[in-house]
Amino acid sequence: MSLKILILDDHKVFSESLKLVLETHDFEVMNVTNPKMALSLIKTQNIDILISDIEMPEMNGVDFIKLIKEDSPNIEHEPKIIVLTTYKKINLFKKLIALGIDAYLSKNVTHIELLSVINKVISGEKYYEASIYNEYLKSNKNSSDIEFTVRELDVLKLIMEEKTTAEIAEELGISNYTVEGHRKNLLQKTNSKNVVGLIKYTLVNNLI
């Protein structure tokens, strides 16, 4: 079964051209310009990946992604979220990271790189364009500036209790893949190479 991708972008020419490219790689693609329509499709169509712009007339992408996260109990199959934008503002990126997006890319990304990122996020990985992510790491040398989601802290607490991935998944009612995604995100945010480094970081900075 082919993956379902929803493109939310008010630039119709860009959206249509991206749709054509993705369809040549056997993805099932829909594109919309209206965030409300996008949310309706996410609730009813089992969308695997949402590719969203940030600047849109009716609702900006940050507010839209926040709406998805807040409404997640009513979404049977919550999609992976790839932000595709021309904006590279660090404060914007911090907000999106805190919301738990799966990837952040510039609109001038090559089709080959975009396809690679789609495969990464489907397998539970995170991917952030190097230029913005390096700036983010520099700005977050002080741990008090790093924003963690509630779910990331839930996973971190159980990691500190030496729970396995399967045990964390069972306790939080999520999949093993989702647990691994949160673990990788925690490693990236704390600039830790492995779980030992993550535990050390947690203890030094009194995160839990």
Looking from the CA of 37 toward its CB, the CA atoms found within 13 Å total 12
User: Is the model's pTM score more than 0.85?
Assistant: no
* Two tokens, residue 190: 């704390």
Q: Determine which helix (DSSP H) or strand (DSSP E) holds 8, and give its type and residue range.
A: strand 4-8
CATH code, residues 4-139: 3.40.50.2300
Paired with 52 in beta bridges are 8, 83
For residue 4, which phi and psi values (nearest 5 degrees)?
A: -95, 125
Q: State whether CATH 3.40.640.10 applies to domain 143-204.
A: no
Q: What are the extents of the domains in the chain?
A: 4-139, 143-204
Q: pLDDT tens, position by position, for the chain (208 residues)?
A: 689 999 999 888 999 999 999 999 999 999 999 888 999 999 999 999 999 998 887 788 888 998 888 888 888 889 999 999 887 788 888 889 888 899 999 888 889 999 999 998 998 888 888 888 877 777 665 555 677 888 899 999 999 999 999 999 999 999 999 999 999 889 888 878 888 888 888 887 777 7
* Two tokens, residue 22: 């993705």
